Structure 1
Amino acid sequence: MKRKIIAYNLVLTDALEQLDDSFEVEIFDGINPKTDHAFLHALKDAEGIVGLALPVDKELLEKAPKLKIVSNNSTGYNNLSIEEMTQRGVMGTNTPGVLEDTTADAIFGILLAAARRIPELDHFVKSGNWKQHLTTAQYAVDVHHKTLGIIGMGKIGSAIAKRAHFGFDMNILYYNRTRNIEAEGKYNATYCDLEPLLKQSDFVCLMTPLTSETENLMGEQEFKLMKKSAIFVNGSRGKTVDEEALIAALNQKEIHAAALDVYRSEPLSPDHPLLQFPNVVTTPHIGSSTFETELKMANLAVENLLSGLLGQRPKNLINPDVLNR
């Protein structure tokens, strides 16, 4: 009898070609995992799950008695209840070390887009409104030689700092749980507390993981500390920002603009208040969304899955304590 695997929201299913004939793969995309009957039926015999953003909690685990491993096709794994999985002997893995440069390209790209008003002025041209020279009201702001404050100087934050330092001669401040000595040496980044970073930065780029400490890290008080000329960029997770506070800050012109790739609820509804601002760049969570990078991630996710199912220690095991059970 073939061993069952569930592939959930795994866009590039080409990666599943690594699996041999001893595995039966059921693919689910765009379904509600709490109510989809076929998915719930598949859970009963599934030994492995590979995919993106599936909430793996106590409720799901109770419906999957044979489950051995959940392989996340992402660097983040806040969708996994790691403690509950470990107690039940279920391995969890992720795909670090693949998307840093690609995501840094995207986040620095939306920073540039917001500063130079690229989406807004693109629409201006395509709407047939470009009939004379721009007025001063349509002018943008420079990026080069400005101060970039990075909140969360991990691998992606460091990759953004690299682009800012070498490409745009920017002054870099950063706030992190621990000092990043490598970034300080390579990119002349200065470690500081959050308050002075917010007060001094022309661009504030949020790149922290989502934890209980970072949820709503950017709220009303934080936006009030920023310069009125500053641009806020979020490439972390939607819940790290109090969206109502961000909307209020934009309405009250406490900040100049924003560039967002992540949101509290995705996808955004067409009537979401953030979509009403011409000075807010909104991209649909595109951080790692290039064919090359997504395929690398999917391949690594399947490799992790196979290792766990074949009795080996997965390369990117999140909960090593599970091996002692």
Structure 2
Amino acid sequence: MGNKIAIVNSSSFGEKCPGQLERLKTLGEVERFTFHIDIPGKELAEKLHGFNIIISSVTPFFTREFFEHKDETWIISRHGIGYNNIDIKAATEKGTIVTVVSALVERDAVAENAVTNLLAVVRKTVSAATAAKEGRWVERAQFVGRQITDKTVGIIGLGNIGSRVGEIFKYGFNARLLAYDPYQTIEQLEQKGAEAVALEELLIQSDIISLNAYVDQKSYHLLSDREFALMKKGVYITNTARGELWEQDAVLRALESGKIAGLATDVLEGEPVDNTHPFFKYDNVLVTPHTSAYTMECLRGMGEKVVSDVERVIQKEQPDNVVNTELFRGNLS
């Protein structure tokens, strides 16, 4: 069987680092695909029939139905650090290795964007820049923002990226740093410079909240009406993790009531979305299209990882960051 490589819904791969795409082409036939987020598993399997290597973005969803209808697939290499869109159990049963990019590759890029987007909202940067561009300089008094220095910042999820966000706020803005992370001990959180608190305490005390947790059964819609009610009036929130961490209608109610003074998010539940999404009607909400990892340095590192995955699988070697490690080479023997 010849090597056929499918690049699925990953528009950034090979665009800024074309040499990586050329390396792939020396390994086999390469084709790009763009599928709707909700494409049925059977249809997705039919579209990718014959492709034994898949490089995938955060969408589409590789469901059990996909694996039940898909022919031989050696590997799905995620062009990113998460694998929520892949049924790992079904992939394992099928004999398909699933790999991800090391979280360290995205750490600085995503953390910096969490702070960048938050700053833009707090300082009303986009509105002020638009006014200047449109010749409305005399309106500058409308764009009075807030300072971050000495504020209390709560990080939900003080892991790889969250800990870097915390460092930036604490050491760059002299912020008091609170952290809620049920998967780490109090000692681990304190070693990262944070005060370990319960979620309720973080919500009550924080002037700024950064969402940096991953989504599982416990964290899905972690923030809803009850949680927003606990927050300070005029809280600022930044989210570069997942849109599923909050219940969207509850966010909208918190925006309408003024509970949320400003919101910056790089992620939305059900993304991609069009311009009818309700968040776009608010001047104090900044939405970016899941671009937190879009730095040259990060994209180069992500691309190198997936190309390395393909090279190693073809050579019957174990790639790095295998999710289902029990399958190493099992489907290649």
Total equivalences in the alignment: 322
The correspondence of residues 67-216 of structure 1 with structure 2, limited to 5 A, is: 67-96=73-102, 97-131=104-138, 134=141, 138-177=143-182, 178-179=184-185, 181=187, 184-186=190-192, 188-216=193-221
Displacement after TM superposition at 1:200 (Å): 0.2
Cα-to-partner distance string for 1:132-176 (whole Å, 9 max, x where unaligned) = 6615xx421110110100000111001111111111111100000
Percent identical: 29
CA RMSD, aligned part only?
2.4
The 1:118/1:310 distance shift into structure 2, 3 A limit, reads same
Gaps of 5+ in 2: none
Residue 64 of structure 2 is matched in structure 1 by 58
Relative distance call for 1:42 and 1:83 in structure 2 (3 A) is same
Kindly provide the amino acid, as one letter, of the partner of residue 104 in structure 1. A
Is 1:241 paired with 2:246? yes
The 8 Å contact of residues 120 and 279 in structure 1, kept in 2 or not, is answered as: no
Q: Distance in 1 between matches of 2:259 and 2:89?
A: 41
User: How many Å separate the matches in 2 of 1:76 and 1:132?
Assistant: 43
Distance 1:266 1:22, change over 3 A: closer
Q: Would you say the 8 A contact 2:207–2:235 is kept in 1?
A: yes
Shift of the 213–309 alpha-carbon distance from structure 1 to 2, 3 Å rule, reads: farther
State how far apart, in whole Å, the 2-side matches of 1:283 and 1:104 are: 14
1:269/1:113 CA distance change after superposition, 3 Å: same
The offset of 1:250, in angstroms, is 0.5
Matched with 2:7 is 7
Whole-Å Cα distance in 2 between the matches of residues 218 and 125 of structure 1? 36
TM-score in terms of structure 2 length: 0.89
Unaligned runs of 5+ in 1: none
* TM-score of the pair, normalised by structure 1: 0.91
Q: Which moved more, 1:304-313 or 1:18-27?
A: 18-27
Larger mean CA deviation between 14-23 and 195-204 belongs to 14-23
The answer to whether the Cα contact below 8 Å between 2:244 and 2:269 also exists between their aligned partners in 1 is: yes
**Residues 39 and 27 of structure 1, relative CA distance in 2, 3 Å threshold:** farther
